[in-house]
Amino acid sequence: MHTPLTRLLSFIAPLCATLLLSACASNFGSVESSDANGTVSASPAARVADDFPIPAGSGIVTDQTLILGSGANWTGRLVITLSGDTQSAFVFFRDQGNAFGWELVASSYGKASLLTFSKGQRSATVYIESGFAGPMATVTVSPVAPKGM
């Protein structure tokens, strides 16, 4: 025999699970944001598009992405979901980095892969792994420290 509380819980539990999963899924994709003056800034992908390769069909994980600056002067972390597998992503970044002026310094392919690039006074690392929601890449770009530091 079902009590009213049991019936209520059997309705609420699946509802809560559905809401939780839909909230997690909404973090993926590119969004535009506005500053305090209401000026809309470009999406993270648009801010780095001319400087670093991003595979077609990728989505930006906006709550884990932090981009400072834009164009050839950006630094920060770009977290993306990948539409292909990790091997395709590794090959894409390895081959397309040079087309954007980035020189491949070192790379390692495996269960988790890492590529390191340099361009002028900046370095970039690309960390590729299979995540819960599929393949993901974290691109970190930072200035190179002057020699002697």
Q: Are 44 and 30 in contact (CB under 8 A)?
A: yes
Closest by Cα among 72, 45, 92, 62 to 104: 92
- Is 29 within the bounds of a domain? no
- Is 112 within the bounds of a domain? yes
Q: What is the CATH number of the domain that holds 136?
A: 3.30.310
Task: Please tell me which residue, 61 or 145, carries the higher pLDDT value.
Answer: 61
How far apart CA 52 and CA 44 sit, in angstroms, is 11
* pLDDT at res. 85: 92
Instruction: Give the pLDDT mean for 100-123.
Output: 95
* pLDDT at res. 112: 95
Q: What is the pLDDT of residues 89-108, one digit of tens each?
A: 999 999 999 999 999 999 99
Q: What is the pLDDT of residues 2-11, one digit of tens each?
A: 666 555 445 5
Residue 116 structural domain = 43-143
* pLDDT at res. 73: 84
- Give me the long-range contacts of 119-126 (CB less than 8 A, separation at least 24): 120/72, 122/75, 124/52, 124/97, 126/93, 126/97
Q: Are 97 and 107 in contact (CB under 8 A)?
A: no
